[in-house]
Structure 1
């Protein structure tokens, strides 16, 4: 026998016309043509995937860690499939993936993305439109982000000294 849904996930009869602040706002919108049998079947279903449909995460944060993107380790990187994740989460995903680190599978759709040899994850295309305004401008002499798969580390490589200073 399936477990009943918690009260905050149950739909009230007026949920299809209520605003975002109501408990029914988390579930899928109802059409007017549905019958009572379908409602009872849906609420008592309890099978995987039958829960409420949540709004998508903000495009300004990583889908995995739900942290806002920044200009260093939380850099938004786009995979070949079009999904975007922060560099740090992709590095962790890469470490958990079997193989030599020459590809990473998207955690959403499982589409593989081949990585550039010797450059790896930091070479994936960055989505600058997802960065906060203060992180969009390239910082002066910040250095470059590197990924050492063997040691499992993301690190910031210092920039070379300016010419003429030693």
Structure 2
């Protein structure tokens, strides 16, 4: 059920035939893990919060640096020195206080990554290193959770979707391992 505030907040996307009330309710019931709150994870988190994804799990062990600000748009000057998760939570709460935010402020080891992946419906890998990508992929395959993997290097980008629930879907390791 959407309350009056939510109906007003999401009215423009509810009007879209491919979203409507049912789609907005599915967004509200969704739980998404975003691994990495840098150049890719920052705008992803902003848009998912604004769209009304009900629960965002935010994972990043880093702190905001002044050199991050021109590309990591979720953070601002007052966030320099804060954990990226705390900075993001502050901004996302201001954008949409209706959603739930679950912080993961430390590097996720095998056990905590497995638990984080199991707790969500979808995982977004917005990291910038292969060992983390491999670990996130392995956790998604083990838990049977879909993985959206994005990468941006200089002026180029990649986007891949892996869904271990589908037998014909490869995994990240199948392509890059």
TM-score by length of 2: 0.21
Of Structure 1 and Structure 2, the greater helix share is in 2
Of Structure 1 and Structure 2, the greater strand share is in 2
TM-score by length of 1: 0.22
- Name the structure, 1 or 2, with higher relative contact order (CA <8 Å, separation 6+): 2
